Amino acid sequence: MIRPLLISTLLATRLMAADTAVEEAADLLRFTNGNQIDGEFAGMDQSGVVTWHRSDVATPMPFKREKIRQIVLRNARPLSAMDSPCHVTLVNGDRIPGNVVAADDKSITLETTLAGPLILPREVVAAVSPNPFGGRLIYAGPFDQTGWQQVQSDGKMGILDEMGLSLPGTAPEEDSETPKPSWHHSGASWFSSGGNDAIILDAKMPDRALLRFKLGWRSRPNIAVAFHCDFTRPEPKEQDEKEDDAPARPNFGGLQNLANLFGTAYVINFQAGYIHLQRTGFDDDGNPEVERIRVGNSSIRLPDTGEAVFEIRCNRQEGNISVYIDDEFAVQWNTSDELEREVWKNQPRNVNYQAPGGGLGFQVQGNSASVRISDLVVAEWNGMTDSARSMESDHRDIVLLANGTDRFSGEVLAIRDGQVEIDASYGPLKIPLEDIAEIHFARDKRRKADEPLASEITVILQPVGRISGVPLASDAHRMQIDSPLAGKIDLDLAPAVVLEFQSGGGFLDDWDDAP
């Protein structure tokens, strides 16, 4: 079998890297039957045969593309990540990174670092994003495990490697019985089959922050998402002799465990029928405290199996927290109503928001629920409160400014000399492109996207981007790809991290790769 050999090889490689601080990032090929093998992607020919190299195999290894699910390049680390998240979104969901330098009613010219200048038919472009995410992009991934840690229910931490294994020398102790972690990383996603462990990341979330991620689930979803975490756990005070006989503090259904996992933070629980928000922290004696923040209506409806894009927008200065699901507004809380509760009076806070940190975390609630987390973005939030769906119109183009408040509707006539020319409701306007967050073109002027061909692959780029199409030819560094919307593209693979070969397949297939 390929898998056991690969696990031992990867683990040995990681241990060696820890000793020498030098690691040669290998490529990883995953087959449709769940097997996988490491080595080096050497390219593919026009018939779709992938060439694979291994140092312990004398001759190149050919593999048929229909047997391949995914190739992870360089351990999901780009040779050179793009320094700007500017991109255009096509009608099929592809996102091509680059700067728009010109546009008229027929075409849009995009200057890219990975494919040179591209001229796209305007009808295939759904949106232009000169300043996406509402502000500065802070994190996009998870392309690899860098910075992530696993936290056990007792607060112990371990570093996660590619197969989800805690490395020796991390907690728990090397000579103790180490349970298999409930999270593992595959491609550009985190997977969990339930359990009490959490994964955390010090994402440096700012005061006004946007946290967005795609969640897939196999059974009824139940997941805790923490943000603005400080990950601190004070030592409980020792009881004196008089307190020894006092009754033990009650454990309210294990909710106090959230404070042990995330420290002082806000935690949103997403379930199939509703959402609720909790604040976690510790009392003066160092004991964990969890308090639910009430809201009028927090009901939602999620299917038993599916996927959705969740977005949390939070403002530490004003105390507002909002949730959007698939670009639709779901619920909002204002934490100012909770200011006078006795348990929080001594907590560090900024005005009316008692969560001083910048971290985030995830924990699956329950022992058997399978979930996938991907397409995670942390960015500065510009304060826009509208849902993304409100940016779409059947007959009018919508231009949203980078300040998150001002917007204009009408017809985008042209983009030239760094300015957008708009025939707006009250007359013609010219707006500098640098002042614009997004332009969404009218739906009735867009071409309808066709179903993807079985021969198409998807190239995932870091930090932002995905390009799909039929591969024509490739070596280890460049790929010629025929996009059904953008035409033939000569693509530099330096910023690429994943090649998806089963683009038309179901998203649940990835769970079959679990070690």
- Separation CA 155–CA 125 (nearest Å): 47
Confidence of residue 450 (pLDDT cuts 50, 70, 90): confident
Region of poorest pLDDT, from 175-179, 222-226, 511-515 = 511-515
Structure tokens at 205: 């979330």
**Alpha helical stretches, state H, 85-149:** none
Radius of gyration of the chain (CA): 24
**Tens of pLDDT along 339-378?**
444 444 554 444 467 788 999 999 987 666 788 999 899 9
Helix or strand or coil: residue 156? coil
Q: What is the Cα–Cα distance from 154 to 152, expressed in whole angstroms?
A: 5
Which residues lie below 8 Å from residue 123, measured CB to CB, with a gap of 6+?
Answer: 445, 446, 447
Q: How do beta strands 208-217 and 306-315 pair? A: antiparallel
Residue 157: pLDDT band (50, 70, 90) is: low
Q: Which of these, 31, 300, 361, 17, lies nearest to 167 by C-alpha position?
A: 17
Which is more confidently placed, 18 or 192? 192
**For residue 434, with 0-12 CB atoms within 10 Å meaning exposed, 13-18 middle and 19 or more buried, which class applies?**
exposed
Concatenating the DSSP letter of every residue in 299-359 gives B----SSEEEEEEEEEETTTTEEEEEETTEEEEEEEGGGGTT-GGGTTS--BTTB-----E
Query: Would you give the DSSP letter of residue 218?
Result: S
Using alpha carbons, select from 187, 171, 188, 191 the residue that is nearest to residue 179: 171
Residue type, 429: L
Residue with tokens 């940190």: 357
Residue 199 near residue 148 (C-beta atoms within 8 A): yes
Task: Report residue 238's pLDDT band, with 50, 70 and 90 as the boundaries.
Answer: low
Q: Percent of the chain at pLDDT above 90? A: 36
Mean per-residue pLDDT for 381-388?
Answer: 72
- Among residues 56, 67, 147, the alpha carbon closest in space to that of 359 is found at 147
Q: How far apart are CA 18 and CA 13, in angstroms?
A: 9
What CATH topology corresponds to 2-77+450-458+473-485+501-513? SH3 type barrels. (2.30.30)
What gap in Å lies between CA 372 and CA 193, rounded to an integer? Answer: 9
pTM over 0.85: no
User: Residue 119: what pLDDT?
Assistant: 95
Confidence class for position 98, pLDDT limits 50, 70, 90: very high
How sure is the predictor about 4, in pLDDT bands with cuts at 50, 70 and 90?
very low
Residue from 27, 94, 98, 63 nearest 492 by CA: 98
Do the beta carbons of residue 345 and residue 193 sit within 8 Å? Answer: no
Using CA atoms, how far residue 469 sits from 47, 460, 499, in Å, is 14, 12, 11
For residues 269 and 179, the answer to whether their CB atoms sit within 8 Å is no
Q: How far apart are CA 4 and CA 368, in angstroms?
A: 24
Question: What's domain 140-235+251-380's architecture?
Answer: Sandwich (2.60)
- What are the tens digits of pLDDT across the range 282-328? 887 888 888 888 776 677 888 878 889 999 999 988 888 999 998 88
Angle CA(311)–CA(312)–CA(313) in degrees, nearest 5?
120
| Contact of 377 with 212, CB cutoff 8 Å | yes
Whether 171 shows a pLDDT value over 90: the answer reads no
- Per-residue tokens: 248: 């033990």
Long-range pairs, 475-480, Cβ under 8 A, ≥24: 475/42, 475/43, 476/40, 476/41, 476/42, 476/43
